[in-house]
Amino acid sequence: MSIPNIFDDLLSRKSLFKNKEILRHDHSPRRLPHRDEEINKISYNLVEALYGHIPSNMTLYGVTGAGKTAVTSYVCQHLEEKGREKGRNVETIMVNCRQIDTQYRVLTFIGNSLLEEHEDEEIPFTGWPTDRVMKELVKRMDKRSGVFIIVLDEIDHLVRKAGDDLLYNLTNINSMLKVSRACVIGISNDLKFTDFLDPRVKSRLGQLDILFKPYDAQQLQDILRQRSDAALVEGVLGAGVIELCSALAAQEHGDARCALDLLRISTEKAEFAGDEIVLSHHVRTAQHQIESDQIAPVISSLPTQQKLVLASILINEHTGLKNIQTGEVYEIYRQACKHIRQSPLTQRRISGIIQNLDMLGLITARTISRGRYGRTKEITSSIPKNLEAIPLMVESEEDLKPIFEHSYNHQSRLA
DNA sequence: AATCCACAGGAAGCCCGGGAAC
DNA sequence: GTTCCCGGGCTTCCTGTGGATT
């Protein structure tokens, strides 16, 4: 008698998905509901590229999951297609400035995506002076001759971190190009990021602003329906599941990405449990999982010092303190360092780390003034309670273990 | 109205590791 | 090898500040 293969059972189960890819938020569908106006505005401007003219630079604003990236890549795809048809070389280069987040790296990325094999050498990730990378970039663009659409996604992130030199250079690139043309599209989650910009850059980049309004619950439902029709087996969605996913995502400032993830993971949950219909309790479980799945890797990949600071905040909260001040965090942090025989960093640095943890969404830090008692930050952890943050940190960094043993056994000393 | 707290957060510069060019 | 460049993490030094208290 043969032993059954462990996959037999899984394979014989009926899947609830027809095509799971369609429910991923990075999948680009053939139609984008409720974004006609934005698509029209962008394509009206970009059509210039097909005549060989320079389209205006654009900035697209809107909250995460409002469809900015999806719309842009959708329009650009169509544009490139039409370009090929008409024998005009139109190329789009999309850069995610959250991953590629310095001037040098963005320029290198663009340069290397224009690489002609066996002809050009790859620009190294470090070593060259920036202006040389810039010159090389211009050279390659001219060699390929055409109109280049440079899309800088999450540009606010880059500007906040690295300043506006890159934008200055890129929005000025047409004066260096001889035969080619280029246009810059900035995508920002932050409405006010242009405040940080040099006025010249501001006026050149902001020739055309487009605001993406968040989707409302009704629109999210349409999106989910459209996608689930193609992605899921008919009839597997229980009553009210789409409505629930949309409502939850609409609470999260109308994030379509969030709605799609929610629906996909709910279905996975149902499938895993062997249920044939997705019900609202699957959605609830999925919601919890999404929360911790997003946060857990962020915590465990934190550098040691940042873990220490986060740990200090958590220890403080564990002892019942809320709205901790920077100074208090620093004090606990110093004790923790002493305990594991590390030399502590300065308070200035910790202030920066707190800022960073806030940006990562692990804590919320609001600057408040307590009058006579100074100006400081009120810090609260925003890690969901069901997520065990401390084991996560210890797991990825054994050295930290003593701190928690120490503090959890001797709370009174720290309080 | 002046003071003053407890920091925020900018600027400059150091040191390091990575690499290129000469 | 030496000298250049980039970027990250960090320190030092600094100026700025909202509002309770004097």
Nearest residue: Cα versus C1' of B10: A348
Nucleotides of B under 7 A from a protein CB: 3-11, 17-21
The answer to whether the C-beta of A354 is closer than 7 A to strand B is yes
**How many whole angstroms separate alpha carbon A357 and alpha carbon A229?**
40
**Measuring from the CA of residue A352 to each C1', which nucleotide is nearest?**
B9
Residue nearest to nucleotide B3 (CA to C1'): A372
Nucleotide in closest CA–C1' contact with A372:
C20
What is the model's pLDDT at position A98? 87
Is residue A345 within 8 Å of A305, Cβ to Cβ? yes
Query: Is the CB of A367 within 7 Å of strand C?
Result: no
Q: Which nucleotides of C are covered by protein (CB under 7 A)?
A: 4-14, 16-21
* Residue range A215-296, CATH number: 1.10.8.60
Domain residue ranges in chain A: 35-211, 215-296, 301-414
Give the pLDDT of chain A (415 residues) as one tens digit per residue: 677 787 877 777 778 788 888 888 788 888 888 999 999 999 999 999 998 889 999 999 998 889 999 999 999 999 999 999 999 999 999 999 988 989 999 999 999 998 876 677 788 888 888 989 999 999 999 998 899 999 999 998 888 888 888 888 899 899 999 999 999 999 998 887 777 777 888 888 888 999 999 999 999 999 999 998 888 888 888 888 899 999 999 988 889 999 999 999 999 988 888 888 888 899 999 998 888 888 888 898 899 999 999 999 998 888 877 889 999 999 999 999 998 888 999 999 999 999 999 999 899 999 999 999 999 999 999 888 878 888 888 888 888 888 877 665 544 444 3
Asked if the Cβ of residue A78 lies within 7 A of any atom of strand C, the reply is no
The pLDDT of residue A316 is 86
Q: Which fold has domain A35-211?
A: Rossmann fold (3.40.50)
Q: Residue A374: what pLDDT?
A: 92
Question: Which residue's CA shows the smallest distance to C1' of C19?
Answer: A371
Nucleotide nearest to A306 (CA to C1'): C9
Q: pLDDT value at position A406?
A: 61
Strand pairing report for A208-211 and A181-188: unpaired
Residue type, A55: P
- CATH label, A301-414, candidates 3.40.640.10, 3.40.630.30, 3.20.20.140, 1.10.10.10: 1.10.10.10
Quote the pLDDT of residue A410.
Answer: 47
Measure A346 CA to C13 C1' (Å): 13
Which nucleotide across the nucleic acid strands is nearest to A104, CA versus C1'? Answer: C6
Nucleotide C21's nearest residue (CA vs C1') is A372
What's the pLDDT at A413?
41
Residues 79-138 of A with CB under 7 A from strand B: 124-128
Residues 323-362 of A with CB under 7 A from strand C: 345-346, 348-349, 352-353
